[in-house]
Amino acid sequence: KGLKPTEAPYTVSATLRNVVSKTVVPNRSLSSRQLDMTIDKDVLTLSGQARLDGVAGQGTFTAYLGPTYSNKPATVRVKAKVGSGDLATLGVKLPEGLIDGTTDVAFDATFEKNKAPRYRVKSNLVGATISLPQVTWSKPSSGPASFEVAGQFDGKNILEKFYFTADGLTAVGSGRFDGGKFQVLSLEDVKLGSTFSGGVDIASTGKITIKGGRADLSKITKRIGNAAAGAQGGTTLSVQLGRLDVTDKIFLSDFVMDFGKNGSATFSALVNNGGRITGILGRNQGRTTIQIKANNAGKTLVSAGFLKHAFGGTLVLDLETNGRSGEIDGTLAVKDIRIQNAPILVELLNAVSVVGLLDQLTGSGLAVNEINAAFRSTPKQIIVESASMFGPSLGMTVDGYYAKTDQSLDFQGVLSPLYVLNGIGSIFSKKGEGLIGFNFNIGGNADNPRVSLNPLSIFTPAMFREIFRRPPPKLE
């Protein structure tokens, strides 16, 4: 007698059956066949098995009663075993094959008065496999990871935080919803070892967009090849890089590549912020093929550092892996280009005292109708099986070797002046060689080439030139 209600100790226990709520989690149905309820002083607790839109879990709901706890939010703690099918049930539709298996998940939510409910999900993802064939990365079911998402339910659903890290892959970002339905997981900060750093969007439609950032081609060549194969499934891939490093001296900027579902891809880029190229990536009998085109061959070759000054022309470069590790076979075709101040050509023309051609080369430029080459790139060297160049004033053939380790040159060839008149001899020799020609050799290295020319070789008939030089390389 005389006790206030707040001073009287009390405990209430009850069992609730067939419980359904569509307000605890907005736009979701939370149900349970049976919940245990207790009220101990000012704390209300509900615990037991429950389902959120059919996804089962074991959880506890805690609410604080009375004026003393008026500012203390209610909480939900749930532990569940979740798979990709459960995520789809909850409206989080991911690309097919991205996640397989099930994993333990901890779900926490807080419900503050007059505020949207907030949630947090954590898991080590043990038991679930994650596969990204487009970038040749996967996590086995036994492999641990750190995974966390957080946001709020406000009728639209908001994913404010996404964090994932495992086996060299780290991704941080957020998600976008439309009318409560998941649309895009936008990862602003993704790191894949030392291979890639940038952003990635993963859409519910199955499209993956790699955007911004920087990548190293030498480290992702295999990944790109597999991306074409991986895109044959339900997932499409688009790559938009600020910079793609090809070598220590060549990079591609404004790089855009779109993979189709047939395993091919198209791309475009600027070479060293200069000439624009377009291309096609494909597969041929298990080998990766690349075709690169440029509508301004001169600007592209100058941008890449292969020529000092050149203008106009078209370029087609075809590349194909040959089955040996690190090796690529290629052909090059350039048409209607004008070349200025090419150091090796200047030395050759000086050696044969062709003043008119020197004036063209150092003045308005030397007109070249065609340049053709067949070569192989290996980890240690570039082997030029054959290369030819000809225009109205000049014809030339070259073959030999370029060592990547020390940039040394070992080339031989024939220089044929006044090719438009002299070219009749090409019926007896190679394309690019005339009836009259000078044998030459190029040694030294890329920074300091040494050119030697045999002036007496002009007296050797075209059909007998091969007798006086070594056999050209053969790409077998």
Q: What is the pLDDT of residue 36?
A: 94
Query: 261: helix, coil or strand?
Result: coil
Residue 94, φ and ψ in degrees, nearest 5: -105, 160
Task: Return the C-alpha torsion angle 463, 466, 472, 474, nearest 10.
Answer: 60
Do the Cβ atoms of 182 and 173 come closer than 8 Å?
Answer: no
* Single pTM value for the model: 0.70
Task: Return the C-alpha torsion angle 196, 197, 199, 205, nearest 10.
Answer: 20
| Rg of the chain over all Cα atoms, to the nearest angstrom | 34
Q: What is the pLDDT of residue 464?
A: 46
Please give the full DSSP string across 274-304, using - where no structure is assigned.
SSEEEEEEEEETTEEEEEEEES-HHHHHHHT
Name the amino acid, one letter, at 4: K
Per-residue pLDDT of the chain (476 residues; tens, 9 = 90+): 566 666 667 788 999 999 898 877 667 788 899 999 999 878 999 999 988 888 889 989 999 887 777 788 999 899 999 887 777 776 666 667 778 899 999 989 898 888 888 889 899 999 999 987 767 788 999 999 999 989 887 766 678 899 999 998 999 999 887 766 778 889 999 998 888 888 989 887 778 888 878 888 776 655 555 554 545 455 677 889 999 998 888 999 999 998 876 668 899 999 999 999 999 988 888 788 899 999 999 999 999 988 888 989 999 999 998 888 888 999 999 999 998 877 777 677 666 655 555 555 566 678 889 999 999 999 899 999 999 988 877 888 899 999 988 999 999 988 877 654 454 545 445 554 556 678 888 999 888 888 887 765 554 554 444 544 555 677 76
Q: What does the block give as tokens for 204?
A: 């519910």
Q: What is the pLDDT of residue 394?
A: 80
Q: What does the block give as tokens for 244?
A: 């793609």
Q: What is the pLDDT of residue 125?
A: 92
Q: What is the pLDDT of residue 235?
A: 62
Q: What is the pLDDT of residue 459?
A: 46
Please give the full DSSP string across 399-443, using - where no structure is assigned.
EEEEETTT-BEEEEEEEEESHHHHGGGGGTS-TT--SS-EEEEEE
